[in-house]
Chain A
Amino acid sequence: MKILVCISKAPDTTTKISFTDNDTKFNEDKVQFIVNPYDEWYALVRGIELKEATGGTVTTITVGGADHDPIIRKALAIGADGAVRVNAANSDAFFVADQIANYAKANGFDLVLTGKETINYNGSQVGAMVAELMNLPYVSIASKLDIDGSNAKIERDVQGGVEVVTGSLPMVISCAKGMAEQRIPNMRGIMAARTKPLEVVEPSESANLTKVVGYELPAEKGAVKMIDPENMGELVSLLHNEAKVI
């Protein structure tokens, strides 16, 4: 089975967010970058587990500049066989999806896995777009995936519960908690990652459908109002009269 896993770069979850250039650019200074957690913990690790169980290959694909190489090496250290980087700025979800779809169409994969969203843009878009551009079925926010031959059985989170669905490969799946457990790369994996292939390809002709023109930080929370633990009547009255939530 040939598996393609979409990997994106994200700031570490504890990053303090700030902006530069008149609030039009994310300030990357001193930011620790990681593999987007949904891509790594769930999509990549489940892909590797499936490969270990049934044979085949796991290739990662990333759209971004050379500054993405460290997180791609991390994915290789965890156990991907090879990586592709499309050498272009990842400025729009459609542009990214189009690059991935073009590469995947040209190279033929049985399964394309993504994380359910990135922790920087939280859009949950790329997987569905890749599926549409490749004319493939798509299952979003999957928490369990089993493959038997060319049949996939998937559990996905939907409104009010969990749905069990089936379909035939090839397909695109976005992965959420439950899919797999995080793997910490070992020394052998880290050494092997240095020599695994990281192919850099130039972008295909595409378009950006949206543009980010500026950022702002949420309004500062006022100082916390401390309330006497003996006096819950006061809290209830504040929630009613001041916060107006009950």
Chain B
Amino acid sequence: MSVLVFADAAHGKIVKATHEAICYGKAIADKMGSSVTVLTYGNVDQSALEGLGAFGASKVLVHRGIEHVDDEVMTKLLAETAGSENAKVIVFAFDTSGKSIAPRLSARLKAGLVAGATTIPEIDGAKFTIKKNVFSGKAIAKFEVETEQKIISLLPNSIPVTNDGGSASVEELNTPVDQGRISVQEFKAEGGDGIPLPEAELVVSAGRGLKGPENWGIVEDLANELGAATACSRPVADIGWRPHHEHVGQTGVAIRPNLYIAAGISGAIQHLAGVNGSKTIVVINTDPEAPFFKAADYGIVGDAFEVLPRLTEAVKKFKSAN
């Protein structure tokens, strides 16, 4: 018996959300007295695959013949592998590939899916009880799944990553696979060399209070000093001051970093829906009545044009002293 974890390998890289999913799979495997098998694809380095053992994988299966993940092809391969590995639990990261493959696999296997889980399951015989955020982070629901096979996709940044330095055995899969029916014509990278927003542990965000795109230098300075990603509010993306992929909120990206610093954002409920999972929120606003202060851990009533550079200096001083 095993817990099967799907590791997306877009552009030859396995990202932190997947490391978390493997750790999560390992926690379930420990409870069930089984082990973790990872399924991945493409041309990830052999050493990186062995290194997945550090997160809890015993075995890594890699299909080198698949260059690009296609949800139909991958669903079929995962269903077959779940059978051959006798996997009763299949784990995904709740990222773009997890969102498109996990439900497809759920419908194929008639296996109950908890999409966006935040807790390690309570296991009572064949019954798993798992929590996930609902109502855009305004509440938590407890799901029960009793189907024979179970699928869980893990919300990024929900559990800590543990790394014990172990190593996994790697096997190549040569199962013949079909050509997918969707063909990829082009990939347009966004975000340049910066830290991708959904992955970032620290985020500095700003809104209309910054008055114009030319003033983003002070936001970027603080982000660079902290090693943070930059984000923005919806109006700022809509008027084109900042690129759309930086927009966090209800209709943009939902993020849950360890630290979210918001400058010149009033904190409309739609914005909060995208950031309310952040562990610590710092709000900087000239208006002491800004609703965002109610959701903040630390608040500064002040002008972002003065406060941000001061904060950047303070971070610099802190770094040189530590």
Contact = CB atoms under 8 A, between A and B. Distances in A.
Interface of A: 11, 13-15, 17, 19, 37-38, 41, 93-94, 97-98, 119-129, 131-133, 137-141, 153, 156-168, 171, 176-178, 207, 209-218, 221-222, 224-230, 232-233, 235-240, 243, 245-246
B294 interface: yes
B311 A235 contact: yes
B184 A163 contact: yes
Nearest to A133: B107
Contact of B8 (A41, A97, A159): A159
B135 A119 contact: yes
A163 B280 contact: no
Interface of B: 8, 10-11, 15, 71-72, 75, 95-97, 99-108, 110-116, 129, 132-147, 180-191, 196, 198, 201-202, 226, 244-245, 247, 250-252, 258-259, 269-270, 273, 276, 279-280, 282-283, 293-303, 306-307, 310-311, 313-315, 317-318, 322
Contacts of A226: 298-301
B103 to A, nearest CB: 4
A93 B103 contact: yes
Contacts of B104: 128-129, 131-132, 138
A237 B184 CA distance: 48
Given A11-B135, A140-B100, A217-B139, A94 B280 contact: no
B108 A132 contact: yes
A160 B189 contact: yes
A243 B201 CA distance: 13
B141 A215 contact: yes
Contacts of A13: 136, 250, 269-270, 273
B190 A161 contact: yes
Contacts of A126: 103
Contacts of A159: 8, 10, 15, 95-97, 196, 198
A127 B104 CA distance: 9
Contacts of B201: 245
27 contacts: A124-B99, A124-B116, A128-B71, A138-B104, A140-B99, A141-B100, A158-B187, A161-B245, A163-B187, A164-B184, A165-B183, A166-B182, A209-B110, A209-B113, A210-B113, A212-B142, A214-B141, A216-B140, A221-B295, A227-B298, A227-B300, A229-B307, A233-B314, A235-B282, A237-B318, A240-B318, A245-B201
A128 B281 CA distance: 34
B261 to A, nearest CB: 9
B202 to A, nearest CB: 7
B67 to A, nearest CB: 13
Residue in A93, A156, A245 whose Cβ sees the most chain B Cβ within 10 Å = A245
Given A227-B298, A235-B282, A211 B143 contact: yes
Contact of A138 (B71, B296, B315): B71
A212 B251 contact: no
Nearest to A143: B244
A98 B251 CA distance: 27
B128 to A, nearest CB: 10
A142 B293 CA distance: 34
Contacts of A125: 102-103, 106, 113, 115
Nearest to B189: A161
A164 B188 contact: yes
